[in-house]
Structure 1
Amino acid sequence: MNLTFFDQFMSPQILGIPLITMALLMPPIIFPTPNNRWLTNRLSTLQMWMVNLFTKQLMLPINKTGHKWSLTLTTLMTMLLAINLLGLLPYTFTPTTQLSMNMGLAIPMWLATVLTGLRNQLTTSLAHLLPEGTPTPLIPILIIIETTSLLIRPLALGVRLTANLTAGHLLIQLTSTAVLTLLPTMTTLSIMIGIILLLLTILELAVAMIQAYVFVLLLCLYLQENI
């Protein structure tokens, strides 16, 4: 039993092996890469259709020169989607509730988009720091504000993903605890709260999918500004 509700976000160990390692290895197992020796079945066809659909949606706001990022961005979204959904299963661990992991994904990807812009179009990338037609006295202030806004983007990416998943898991934990506590004494109220718990679980499923999509979509928008 957890000592606190936040103990569920601590990486447990089984036989000295951190469970986060096993959790991160699950997406490659669930989404194997097909080869010429495999026959295409319904599951593989469905997976390929979904991957193609997500890739098309991600590449819509990006110019054709940025389409070479499609493999990286689609792989990242597939990994986040699989980890978020697997974390809702009982007796599992969700690595994306850890801010360190999310920042480890957000900072390198954001930095890659910024460096791409500085390498390919230095003048245009620096022009984003100063809107056109700015009065001369406001130029230093606006440059500081825009630079801060640029540097805070990876923090916003990581914190958004962490906060949404953590809040959902905590809410489910609190509601399920209330159901078990009230079941012996107030059965009717416990059943009503159980229905609410079911609806919260469905909502958390939607949040898990949406947050993975939003994370990668924002990276696509950042990339569009720098290509």
Structure 2
Amino acid sequence: MNLSFFDQFSSPYLLGIPLLPLSLILPTLLFPTPSNRWIPNRLSTLQLWLFHLITKQLMTPLNKNGHKWALMLTSLMVLLLTINLLGLLPYTFTPTTQLSMNMALAFPLWLATLLTGLRNQPSISLGHLLPEGTPTPLVPALILIETTSLLIRPLALGVRLTANLTAGHLLIQLISTATTVLLPMMPAVSALTALILFLLTILEVAVAMIQAYVFVLLLSLYLQENI
């Protein structure tokens, strides 16, 4: 029984056919498509407004030198948002519940921001390891602490995203199982758990969007320190 709680973290199959490629077709229908029209339709207008809003929010903490990263950060935001929301649909799989994928996104991007700072302004980037006005006896300890804090950033990014999505999916799995089991025995209690499941699903939709935003926002803040 316990193994069934973790079946959601494996790619689903139906009659030997993988369902993940089929489920990936749906989000592509929501992406903007090029058109020859001067005036786009309502869907394109809504998509462009959403992308403009996301880009504006991500570029707010950055100066002009960081605006060249707008395309990559916005694309990463849309990718994470699509994957996180896709995992809430039936017969789908959430790749961002895997720490390996999150670390594969977090580590290279964090390393890119660090190398950008070391290339463009090495003295300022290295100066972050030692706060101004530090007493001389505390210098070695603070350098060690700040270096550890710097190196642990990609791990924190990946673990945060993985833990939040995994915990929510497990709660949904547990409560939905309880709803199904209690239905023939205690219908009133089953209805109450179904209501809790509905509210939790709404919460998970919000968590999926917030975690995607937090992941990219923290990357933009790391970038701001190095440009």
1:149 to 1:20, Cα distance in 2 relative to 1, 3 A: farther
State the AA in 2 paired with 1:54: I
- Give, in whole Å, the separation in 2 of the partners of 1:138 and 1:131: 11
The equivalent of 1:165 in structure 2 is: 165
- Secondary structure of residue in 1 paired with 2:207: helix
1:7 deviates by: 2.3
The equivalent of 2:125 in structure 1 is: 125
After superposition, the CA RMSD in angstroms is: 2.1
Kindly indicate whether residue 95 of structure 2 is the aligned counterpart of residue 72 of structure 1.
Answer: no
1:154 to 1:16, Cα distance in 2 relative to 1, 3 A: farther
Which is further off, 207-216 or 31-40?
31-40
- Secondary structure of residue in 1 paired with 2:3: coil
1:21 deviates by: 6.0
- Give, in whole Å, the separation in 1 of the partners of 2:151 and 2:25: 31
- Give, in whole Å, the separation in 2 of the partners of 1:140 and 1:147: 11
The equivalent of 1:31 in structure 2 is: 31
TM-score (norm. length: structure 2): 0.92
1:114 deviates by: 0.4
Kindly indicate whether residue 151 of structure 2 is the aligned counterpart of residue 147 of structure 1.
Answer: no
- Give, in whole Å, the separation in 2 of the partners of 1:125 and 1:188: 60
State the AA in 2 paired with 1:83: I
Q: Is the 8 A contact 1:27 1:79 kept in 2?
A: no
The equivalent of 1:43 in structure 2 is: 43
1:38 deviates by: 8.6
Q: Is the 8 A contact 1:175 1:197 kept in 2?
A: yes
- Give, in whole Å, the separation in 2 of the partners of 1:148 and 1:172: 36
Q: Give unpaired runs (5+ residues) of structure 2.
A: none
The equivalent of 1:116 in structure 2 is: 116
Cα displacement string for residues 60-88 of structure 1 (whole angstroms, at most 9, x for unaligned residues): 00001100100000000001111111110
Percent identity of equivalent pairs: 75
1:16 to 1:176, Cα distance in 2 relative to 1, 3 A: closer
Equivalenced residues, count: 227
Q: Give unpaired runs (5+ residues) of structure 1.
A: none
1:10 to 1:38, Cα distance in 2 relative to 1, 3 A: farther
TM-score (norm. length: structure 1): 0.92
